[in-house]
């Protein structure tokens, strides 16, 4: 932790050049440069009991290169938006106005005559001038403050209510009456998660527009984290914005990293039928409920792979059966194949630990969280991040679900 921030950047540069695989991208979705045709829902006619291979294009071609993967990632993103989430629009930069007032970042997004304003307070380290890496909490940062103590990292919370007037607790608006819907009235079928991901990306736009001299933030080292429904949100935000270097999804439950297929076979868990459909397109349940779940042409492990080649840590708590952590464990193993395929498996891991309250990270899980923060936000290379911790699921038959 004595390492200077400049030498940390040098370490990241060296690691990236050594592997040839970038740690982060300059654009929200660089794969959007590829032309993806309107999705043909032929998968509805071809049920697949096992998890689809994320390294196979829909036409059966194999991903062989990083450029291939960018195209395949775009295909996965297209399927997720078509069936489950709705559209994440990409406003022109000219429609975005950003400013800082003290430590508060504010961004105005203008679409037509409508303006949506987002604001977040940045909490800077006590020492140093920056620019600092930034950890953004989806709704809030539930990781204990001790994992950030002594580390030169700025913190911020992203308020999802500013996008949708909807949160897990308190008064809320209904679909079609969100702030987002004022800007995009043709997207009222959207689920809240893709709209939250849209708002999250606008926060990063604002940081980039103002630059490090104004914000004191290093936009090449941004992380996102959240727990429970916000763990889903963190995964979604990181998956759909490749400017995020590190995603830590804490106890996300069904609809997060847990496979829809696997969860369907488990009892008393959050699955496709038993979740909050403010979050997803209502047509998703109508199309794929019951045994039709095997006709989904993708699964949640492929949402996880959208984070590749960046860093992803999944955190579980099997004491809460509803979270479907066995299903997340299967998804994690399936997703890891992509990082392994490109030889950067140290950038993806999971830690599933019992014996603690929901969203209350026990000290036994601090080391893996701190390792991912040190390596992927602070650029300390000699840190072990090949984390595969889930002793309670050692007897799970992965071959039932994964055959690639």
Helices (H) and strands (E) in the chain, counts: 12, 10
Whether pLDDT at 301 is above 60: yes
Domain ranges of the chain: 5-400
Lowest mean pLDDT: which of 163-167, 242-246, 337-341? 163-167
Q: Among residues 156, 152, 142, which one has the least CA distance to residue 105?
A: 156
pLDDT of residue 91: 86
Please compute the mean of the pLDDT values over residues 200-210 and round it to a whole number: 98
In whole angstroms, what is the distance from residue 316 CA to residue 166 CA?
Answer: 25
Average pLDDT over the chain, rounded to whole?
Answer: 92
Q: What is the pLDDT of residues 74-114, one digit of tens each?
A: 999 999 999 999 999 988 889 999 999 999 999 999 999 99
Is the pLDDT assigned to residue 222 strictly greater than 90? yes
- Give the residue numbers annotated as catalytic, written as ranges: 228, 358
Q: How far apart, in whole angstroms, are the C-alpha atoms of residue 314 and residue 231?
A: 9
Tell me what percent of the residues of the chain surpass a pLDDT of 90. 86
Look at 41-50, 222-231, 265-274 and tell me which has the smallest mean pLDDT. Answer: 41-50
Give the span between the Cα atoms of 359 and 315, in whole angstroms.
Answer: 10
Look at residue 386 and tell me whether its pLDDT is greater than 60: yes
Residue 174: predicted pLDDT:
86
> Which pLDDT value is given to residue 17?
42
The 3-state DSSP class for residue 315 equals strand
Would you say 144 and 361 are in contact if contact means Cβ atoms under 8 Å apart?
Answer: yes
pLDDT at 342 over 90: yes
214-249 burial: b if 16+ Cβ within 10 Å, else e:
ebbbbbbbbbbbbbbbbbbbbbbbbbbbbbbbbbbb
Q: What is the pTM of this model?
A: 0.93
Mean pLDDT over 107-130 rounds to 97
What does DSSP assign to residue 349?
E
* Domain 5-400 = CATH 1.20.120.420: no
| pLDDT confidence of residue 203 | 98
Integer Cα distance of 142 and 238 in angstroms: 17
pLDDT band at 173 (very low <50, low <70, confident <90, very high): confident
pLDDT, mean of residues 234-260: 98
Q: Which tens digit of pLDDT belongs to each residue from 20-68?
A: 899 999 999 865 544 444 555 555 657 899 999 999 999 999 999 999 9
Q: What is the mean pLDDT of residues 158-167?
A: 91
Mean pLDDT, range 226-255, rounded to an integer: 98
CA distances from 97 to 91, 101, 110 (A): 12, 13, 8
Q: Say what the pLDDT of residue 45 is.
A: 59
Say if residue 221's pLDDT is above 60. yes
């Amino acid at each position: 932790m004595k390492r200077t921030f400049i030498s940390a950047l040098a370490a990241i540069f060296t690691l990236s050049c050594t592997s040839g695989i970038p740690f982060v991208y300059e654009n929200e979705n660089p794969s959007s440069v590829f032309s993806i045709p309107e999705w043909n829902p032929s998968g509805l006619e071809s049920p697949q009991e096992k998890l689809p291979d994320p390294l196979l294009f829909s036409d059966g071609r194999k991903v062989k290169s990083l450029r291939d993967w960018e195209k395949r990632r775009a295909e996965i993103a297209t399927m997720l938006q078509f069936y489950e989430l709705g559209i994440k629009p990409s406003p022109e930069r000219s429609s975005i106005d950003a400013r800082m007032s003290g430590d508060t970042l504010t961004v105005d997004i203008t679409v037509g005559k409508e303006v949506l304003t987002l604001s977040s307070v940045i909490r800077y380290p006590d020492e140093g001038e920056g620019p600092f890496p930034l950890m953004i909490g989806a709704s809030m940062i539930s990781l204990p403050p001790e994992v950030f103590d002594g580390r030169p990292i700025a913190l911020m919370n992203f308020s999802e209510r500013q996008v949708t007037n909807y949160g897990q607790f308190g008064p809320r608006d209904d679909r079609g009456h969100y702030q987002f819907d004022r800007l995009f009235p043709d997207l009222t079928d959207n689920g809240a998660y893709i709209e939250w991901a849209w708002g999250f990306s606008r926060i990063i736009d604002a940081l980039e527009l103002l630059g490090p001299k104004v914000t004191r933030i290093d936009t090449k080292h941004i992380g996102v984290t959240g727990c429970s429904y916000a763990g889903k949100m963190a995964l979604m935000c990181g998956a759909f914005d490749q400017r995020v270097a590190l995603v830590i999804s804490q106890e996300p439950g069904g609809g997060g990293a847990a496979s829809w297929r696997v969860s369907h076979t488990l009892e008393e868990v959050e699955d496709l039928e038993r979740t909050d459909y403010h979050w997803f397109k209502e047509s998703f349940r109508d199309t794929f409920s019951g045994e039709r779940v095997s006709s989904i042409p993708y699964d949640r492990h492929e949402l996880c792979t959208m984070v590749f080649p960046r860093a992803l840590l999944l955190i579980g708590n099997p004491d809460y059966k509803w979270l479907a952590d066995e299903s997340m464990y299967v998804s994690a193993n399936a997703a890891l194949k992509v990082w392994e395929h490109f030889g950067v498996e140290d950038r993806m891991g999971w830690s599933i630990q019992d014996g603690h309250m929901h969203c209350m990270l026990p000290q036994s899980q601090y080391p893996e969280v701190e390792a991912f923060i040190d390596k992927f936000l602070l650029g300390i290379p000699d840190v072990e991040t090949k984390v595969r911790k889930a002793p309670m699921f050692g007897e799970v038959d992965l071959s039932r679900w994964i055959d690639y």
